[in-house]
Amino acid sequence: MSIAVTIVCVAGEASGDASGAALLRVVRQHLPQVRFWGIGGQHLREVGAELLYDSSRWGAVGVVESLRLVPALWLAQQRLKRRLTQQPPHLLVLVDFGAFNVPLAKWAKRRGIRVFYYFPPGSWRRQLPRHTDLPHCTDCIVTPFPWSAQLLRQAGANAHFVGHPLLDRVRPTLSVEEFCQRLDLAPEGLRIGLLPGSRRQEVRALLPTLREAAEQLARQHPEAQFVIALAPSVQEEEVRQAFVSSKVQWRMVRGMTYEVMAHSHLLWCCSGTATLEAAILGTPMIILYRGSRLMEWEYHLRKRWLNLTFIGLPNLIAERGICPELVQHDAVPANIVAHTIALLPGTEAYHAQQKALQEVKSVLGEPGATARAARLLIECLGVNYVSAS
């Protein structure tokens, strides 16, 4: 028999909001009277969570761009702590967002609040930071990569790999024929999907470059069609202004990201979770990253500090460069077009990347990860697990 419980969920990124909401949706199936509140975005709101703050407005790229958010994040954390003190939940569920959530986990654990960490920060890394607090400030950790669970267990954490939850939800709902018909696309034409990111800084930095690259490619391939997939946090008007006078065949869609990924021949994709979603769908891509000069300095510093060769998740997981990465000064229209020509359908490079993406997908485990994570969450609550009818 299920009991009424309160779960607080804190997710600070678009991908974390989606993953956290998917997890809580399954939890509700087994604990129908559960109450959710916390910090997140549209997805958590849709699953019935009362939002103390809408974190979709917090999107920033890197430490430098995040500095402007420090006052707002500090105030949000203080308000959250006050409410957690006044209304202690049965469980605090933290999703990624390490700069905010790890200090919060330490604070909560000292006050006897049980902590469930979903998607520990930097879980794609093949080694833990020299000093990690996660084993000491969590009751259970669910991580999307097998090596991450092994490393955390070795450090003393109660850590589990249950598969990557993206496998449960990354799938299109339209066929390619339906997709082309709905967007009035020529089925025989070359389709390029544009994913400029979910943060305003990313979008603003990439849009002019994507437009110029589209125009250059269209001069060589007039049949090319470009579909821009908007994240929930991106304003349509900003994208429309960037492309309104362009002569290329372009469309803008929202809520059809997986259709764009699955039914494009090639993707121009901002570095982030979207690159792993595209890998699951098996669509070849060019990974892009652009930002301010300060962000460029930070990018090079982080690469050296973390000893990173790549920035794209498919490349990090594969530990080799299977998708081209164009970063900062390399992310210019001419380079995007050159790599696109080399990756057109039917080329050897196209087929090689498709095969490599399948290998990346195989590392992520089997579907059903969200249900398995929900079972661990309910066990962490200390209540009886109730099978969904």
- Same domain for 218 and 324: yes
- Same domain for 205 and 144: no
211: in domain: yes
- Same domain for 252 and 282: yes
Domain limits for position 27: 6-165+368-381
- Averaged pLDDT, 222-242: 90
Sorting pLDDT into bands at 50, 70 and 90, what band is 148?
Answer: very high
171: in domain: no
The answer, yes or no, to whether residue 2 has pLDDT greater than 60, is no
Sorting pLDDT into bands at 50, 70 and 90, what band is 195?
Answer: very high
The answer, yes or no, to whether residue 305 has pLDDT greater than 80, is no
- Same domain for 154 and 33: yes
Query: What CATH number does residue 209 fall under?
Result: 3.40.50.2000
For the entire predicted model, the pTM comes to 0.88
More confident residue, 211 or 12: 211
Number of domains in the chain: 2
Q: Which residues contact 196 (CB under 8 A, 6 or more apart)?
A: 202, 203, 206, 207, 210, 228, 234, 239, 270
Q: What is the pLDDT of residue 382?
A: 82
- Averaged pLDDT, 351-358: 98
Model pLDDT for residues 322-351, shown as the tens digit of each residue = 999 999 889 999 999 999 999 999 999 999
- Averaged pLDDT, 301-314: 73
- Same domain for 109 and 79: yes
The answer, yes or no, to whether residue 365 has pLDDT greater than 90, is yes
- Same domain for 72 and 193: no
More confident residue, 314 or 291: 314
Q: What is the pLDDT of residue 1?
A: 39
- Averaged pLDDT, 307-312: 80
350: in domain: yes
The answer, yes or no, to whether residue 201 has pLDDT greater than 80, is no
In this predicted structure, which of 214-218, 295-299, 373-377, 381-385 has the lowest mean pLDDT?
A: 295-299
Q: Are 246 and 264 in contact (CB under 8 A)?
A: no
The answer, yes or no, to whether residue 204 has pLDDT greater than 90, is no
Q: What is the pLDDT of residue 294?
A: 55
- Same domain for 131 and 215: no
The answer, yes or no, to whether residue 132 has pLDDT greater than 50, is yes
The answer, yes or no, to whether residue 298 has pLDDT greater than 70, is no
Q: Are 109 and 136 in contact (CB under 8 A)?
A: yes
- Averaged pLDDT, 119-127: 91
The answer, yes or no, to whether residue 387 has pLDDT greater than 50, is no
- Same domain for 180 and 149: no
- Same domain for 197 and 153: no
Work out whether strand 115-118 and strand 35-40 pair parallel, antiparallel, or are unpaired. Answer: unpaired
Model pLDDT for residues 157-175, shown as the tens digit of each residue = 999 999 999 999 999 999 9
- Same domain for 210 and 353: yes
- Same domain for 23 and 131: yes
Q: What is the pLDDT of residue 300?
A: 58
In this predicted structure, which of 57-61, 95-99, 281-285 has the lowest mean pLDDT?
A: 57-61
- Please give the Cα distance from 101 to 92 (Å, whole number): 10
Cα dist from 154 to 133, 136, 243, 271, 379, whole Å: 13, 13, 51, 30, 22
- Averaged pLDDT, 275-289: 97
The answer, yes or no, to whether residue 368 has pLDDT greater than 70, is yes
Model pLDDT for residues 70-87, shown as the tens digit of each residue = 888 899 999 999 999 999
1: in domain: no
- Averaged pLDDT, 280-288: 98
Model pLDDT for residues 61-70, shown as the tens digit of each residue = 454 555 667 8
The answer, yes or no, to whether residue 34 has pLDDT greater than 90, is yes
386: in domain: no
387: in domain: no
135: in domain: yes
Q: What is the pLDDT of residue 198?
A: 80
146: in domain: yes
- Same domain for 372 and 324: no
In this predicted structure, which of 103-112, 137-146, 228-237 has the lowest mean pLDDT?
A: 228-237
Q: Where are the alpha helices (DSSP H) in the chain?
A: 14-30, 42-46, 62-66, 70-86, 98-110, 134-137, 146-154, 166-169, 176-183, 200-220, 236-243, 257-263, 273-281, 293-306, 313-318, 333-342, 348-363, 369-381
